[in-house]
Structure 1
Amino acid sequence: MSIEPSPATPRFSYKGDRLKPLRAFCQTVRLGSVSRAAEALFLSQPAVSLQLQALERDLGERLLERSGRRLVMTRQGEALYDLARPLVEGIDELPDAFRKQLRGMDGGELNVAAGSSTILYLLPPIVAAFRAAHPEVRLNLHNVTGAGGLELLRSDEVDLAVGSMLDVPGDLDYAPVMRFEPMLITPPDHPLATRAKFDLADLSPYGLILPPQRLTTYRMVDLVFQRHQVPYTVALEVGGWEVIKQYVAMGLGISIVTAICLTEADKDRLASRSLAEWFPYRSYGVVVRRGKYLSPQARAFTELIKPDLFTRRDRDDSGPSER
């Protein structure tokens, strides 16, 4: 007596190959069109269309729908993409991964995206430790911030990014590793530098020196003041923590920074006070493309990003959690 397969069990019948339709699906999602997916796969457009149709037919679900000129995932398509992408990429990258595994850390290169403050304050001990352990690996640091770094990740121009994130897109994974305290910095002779206690409203009379509005720090400052219904004034927008610290030291305003940028050299020219009562701690960590295979070089680098390389007092886990 023959046993019929359960109708609930998907049967990938198209050319008897499960990988081909899944690869066509992942490429179509990534590139937004069947024609571009066909070019990337060196196939004809009808062939890719047939594979997508077979996949939807075998799974019994609509996976893609048109939004303007692009094809986008349905809810069912998103569920499949989360499962299929690491499988497809794992198979496609198997030869390179195998060769790298055989070679171990003998040579190769590593590309890391990070913003200026991360490169200047956070990465030096990590880079030094990595270079000491793996001198044969060429390490390339890409100085980019915000959307620029995420685009490099999505296009595989970098292996990983290091920095701070508030909102994590669905196609990326963010693993926070360490936290730094929010700090008010002023000139040493500023009234707020010596006041025993102060409230957030006490900052209102003084102009703030902040990074550009497009950056996370500015948005966080604005959010906190709005949430507490406290007015504030921005005296100057300028990029770079070192520039901000210099302008504060010159008496051109006060600023709200992350303690990661404060060094021993700043103690003589700046006064700093904790703002942890009102502002969240800032997390820093590793950002990777979801499902991406990490090379041995990338894994070795991420393993070095850990709190015990740092001795800052502002990384106390008993402080407020990120919000």
Structure 2
Amino acid sequence: MNLQNLRIFLKVAELEHVTRAAEELHLSQPAVTKTIHSLEQEVHLKLIERQGRRIALTNAGRVLKEYAQQLFSLEREMEDALKELRDVEGGEVRLAFNRTAGVYLLPLVVSRFRARYPQVTLHISILNSPEIVQALLNWQLDFGLVESDTSICPPELQVEMATSDELILVVAPTHKWSKLQVLPVTALNQGELILREEESVIRGMIEQELERHGVQIHSLFTLTDNEAVKQMVMSGVGAAIISAFSVQRELMRGELVHVPVSNLNLRPQLCLMRRADRRLSPAAQAFCAVLSPILEHGLEAIRASTFEGGR
């Protein structure tokens, strides 16, 4: 099978669109269409079906896509291994962090890694946790940091290291709860909470924990972005239960106040996952070595970095 034809098919399969694939590959649409037809004739199976302007993969197309992803992942691994033999300080790392860790933890890791390994190329994506898991299963990443229960890790993946975040209640200094030593958990049904959208993993975790205490949430309103939630709270509009990683700077500056909540235990796990059957390159191993102590110390590492940055 011609690997260039397979590469063109994979781009079409990933984008589910012939025209867009042609644009990204700098080829004409007829050339891409002809390549797909050629592959179909070669394997004696229909690979795609047109659905309006888009395409859908047949079962054979999905099977070929999966094997193509594995094949080209192995090709990249081979190229990285050969490159590292020429230049041990070089290489590439493909990684993804979930949105909270990507905004508040990743910059610290990248800063330290770049100081030690300036020649390594990093390809970084900020995705939600299910997207990271799928990208790992599709051979698109070396590793990813996800918010997940380690007990439900897919069998193809393994957990390299893990730490815990903490979800805490924060309010503005002017809020009516700001001077409380402890807030009764039952007070969270007063319609003061600004929440993430219903599809949010964090929101689901909050609702499940409050349900355990017999508390039903009546939200003030919902937002789809952690930074928007934080800014709204800082402006004095309501309260929020939010990642402790995300508010260290504001807590140190006194722009937000942490209000302890009785009997509330919200500690989502952050797990570094990778494929169990994929060899990590020296560059990827070096990145993990930089990441490991930061994950181990979690909030303390972020607090220290925040303090140094604020001096």
Q: Same fold (TM over 0.5)?
A: yes
| Structure 1 residue identity aligned to 2:278 | K
Cα offset, 1:92, TM superposition: 8.8
Change (3 A) 1:94 1:217: closer
Measure the CA separation in 2 of the matches of 1:121 and 1:95: 33
Which residue number in structure 1 is paired with residue 7 of structure 2? Answer: none
1:167-206 matched pairs, under 5 angstroms: 167-206=152-191
> Is 1:119 matched up with 2:105?
no
Measure the CA separation in 1 of the matches of 2:113 and 2:276: 24
Which residue number in structure 2 is paired with residue 136 of structure 1? Answer: 119
> Is 1:153 matched up with 2:136?
yes
Kept after mapping to 2: 8 A contact 1:177/1:305: no
Measure the CA separation in 2 of the matches of 1:128 and 1:139: 12
Kept after mapping to 1: 8 A contact 2:233/2:240: yes
Measure the CA separation in 1 of the matches of 2:299 and 2:199: 28
Cα offset, 1:140, TM superposition: 1.5
For 2:199, what is the secondary structure of its paired residue? coil
Change (3 A) 1:109 1:305: same
**Of the two, which has the highest radius of gyration?**
1
Which residue number in structure 1 is paired with residue 85 of structure 2? Answer: 102
Cα offset, 1:182, TM superposition: 2.3
Structure having the larger proportion of residues in helix: 2
Change (3 A) 1:253 1:262: same
Cα offset, 1:137, TM superposition: 1.2
Kept after mapping to 1: 8 A contact 2:92/2:120: yes
Cα offset, 1:128, TM superposition: 1.0
Measure the CA separation in 2 of the matches of 1:168 and 1:109: 26
Measure the CA separation in 1 of the matches of 2:76 and 2:174: 59
TM (norm. structure 1) is 0.63
TM (norm. structure 2) is 0.65
> Is 1:262 matched up with 2:262?
no
Measure the CA separation in 1 of the matches of 2:129 and 2:85: 35
Instruction: State how many pairs are aligned.
Output: 241
> Is 1:306 matched up with 2:289?
no
Change (3 A) 1:172 1:194: same
Measure the CA separation in 2 of the matches of 1:273 and 1:97: 49
Kept after mapping to 2: 8 A contact 1:182/1:274: no
Kept after mapping to 1: 8 A contact 2:90/2:120: yes
Measure the CA separation in 1 of the matches of 2:140 and 2:262: 37
Task: Kindly provide the CA deviation profile for residues 3-52 of structure 1, in whole angstroms up to 9, marking residues without a partner as x.
Answer: xxxxxxxxxxxxxxxxxxxxxxxxxxxxxxxxxxxx9xxx979xxxxxxx
| Structure 1 residue identity aligned to 2:137 | R
CA RMSD of superposed structures (Å): 3.6
Measure the CA separation in 1 of the matches of 2:77 and 2:110: 28
For 1:192, what is the secondary structure of its paired residue? coil
Measure the CA separation in 2 of the matches of 1:298 and 1:180: 24
Task: Kindly provide the CA deviation profile for residues 209-247 of structure 1, in whole angstroms up to 9, marking residues without a partner as x.
Answer: 122222220110011111111121122221232211111
Gaps of 5+ in 2: 1-38, 45-58, 61-70, 303-311
Change (3 A) 1:110 1:94: closer
Change (3 A) 1:134 1:272: same
Gaps of 5+ in 1: 1-38, 46-68, 71-87, 316-323
| Structure 1 residue identity aligned to 2:173 | P
| Structure 2 residue identity aligned to 1:231 | Q
> Is 1:293 matched up with 2:257?
no
Measure the CA separation in 1 of the matches of 2:298 and 2:98: 22
Measure the CA separation in 2 of the matches of 1:254 and 1:176: 32
Which residue number in structure 2 is paired with residue 29 of structure 1? Answer: none
| Structure 1 residue identity aligned to 2:299 | R
Which residue number in structure 1 is paired with residue 221 of structure 2? Answer: 236
For 1:157, what is the secondary structure of its paired residue? coil
Change (3 A) 1:173 1:226: same
Change (3 A) 1:108 1:311: closer
